[in-house]
Amino acid sequence: MTRLLLLLVFALCFAHAARAQDILTKRTGDELSVKVLEVTPTEIRYKRTDNPDGPLFVVMRADVFMIKYANGTKEVMNAAPGASMSAAGASPLPPGTKAVVGDGPAAYDGVRLSGPRLGFTVLTGGAASYAEREFNVNPFLTQFGWQFETRLFRMPNGTSGLFEFVPLIGGLEQGKFIPSVNALLGVRGPKGFEVGLGPNITPVSVGVALAAGTTIRTASGINFPITAAVVPGNDGVRLSLLMGFTTRRP
């Protein structure tokens, strides 16, 4: 009798453990047994049920089709409000079935990503000679500033449209105060690579800046962007490299 009771308790515990998991279905059709910890407007954070003390995983919300929670409810990602449903209300995506990218509305949820920037600018050609002759400035300048970034839209495949406003102060290491302003329109891919184009304004010149870079994302919500920029001109080219960090906040 005692053994039977122990077996019954063990079976109940095992059944509860097997049921207390969430099923995350990606748009590729892959199904994962996970414990969902957080769902944000852009990301889903979870841990694997077979390693609950292991690392925290982060997947882009646009890459997920549906979450079936342990209590039986389902939530379809990027669907209209009220798309959460009970298990009896819809059938899960069959394994191997691929959801069509764009079957949900584009996420026009504005997100601001702001943070400090530091780096350097190198003047070449006539620009270096002019700066040294007229302002007694060496062609290598440090840069300090702040990036104000607004995400204008986000497509279901993870591509985002951006507006970036970056004021900088250069030449502090030489005892100079050389301000510059950059206003860029750009695109960031789902892997973090981005390109942008826009005006560059300084006290002595106006030009067009072409920027490219990447963003290293972390599970803690902090991004580490690295950006290279080129400003061509009649008297030479200005080359800049900037680094910093930003935090995601709605």
**pLDDT < 70 stretches in the chain:** 1-20, 78-113, 156, 219-221, 247-250
Burial 24-52, CB ≥16 within 10 A → b, else e: bbbbeeebbebebeeeeebbbbbbebeee
Per residue in 168-207, pLDDT (tens digit) is: 999 999 999 999 999 999 998 877 789 999 999 998 888 9
Predicted local confidence at residue 221, as pLDDT: 65
Answer yes or no: are the C-beta atoms of 19 and 33 closer than 8 Å: no
Predicted local confidence at residue 150, as pLDDT: 86
Residue holding tokens 């925290």? 56
Predicted local confidence at residue 220, as pLDDT: 64
What are 209's two structure tokens?
């800046």
Beta bridge partners of 163: 150, 185
CA distance 138 to 128: 7
What are 149's two structure tokens?
């970034």
Between the alpha carbon of residue 244 and those of residues 187, 206, 225, 237, the distances in Å are 19, 25, 6, 23
Between the alpha carbon of residue 25 and those of residues 29, 32, 43, 99, 224, the distances in Å are 6, 6, 14, 10, 29
Predicted local confidence at residue 104, as pLDDT: 34
Instruction: Kindly list the structural domains of the chain, giving each domain's residue range(s) and its CATH number in brackets, ordered by start.
Output: 2-89 (no CATH), 111-249 (2.40.160)
3-state helix, strand, coil in the chain (%, to 5): 15, 50, 35
- N- to C-terminal Cα separation, the chain: 58
Between the alpha carbon of residue 92 and those of residues 15, 70, 74, 124, the distances in Å are 21, 14, 9, 60
CA angle (186, 187, 192) in 5-degree steps: 125
CA distance 248 to 188: 15
What are 12's two structure tokens?
């109940």
Between the alpha carbon of residue 239 and those of residues 47, 103, 137, the distances in Å are 43, 42, 16
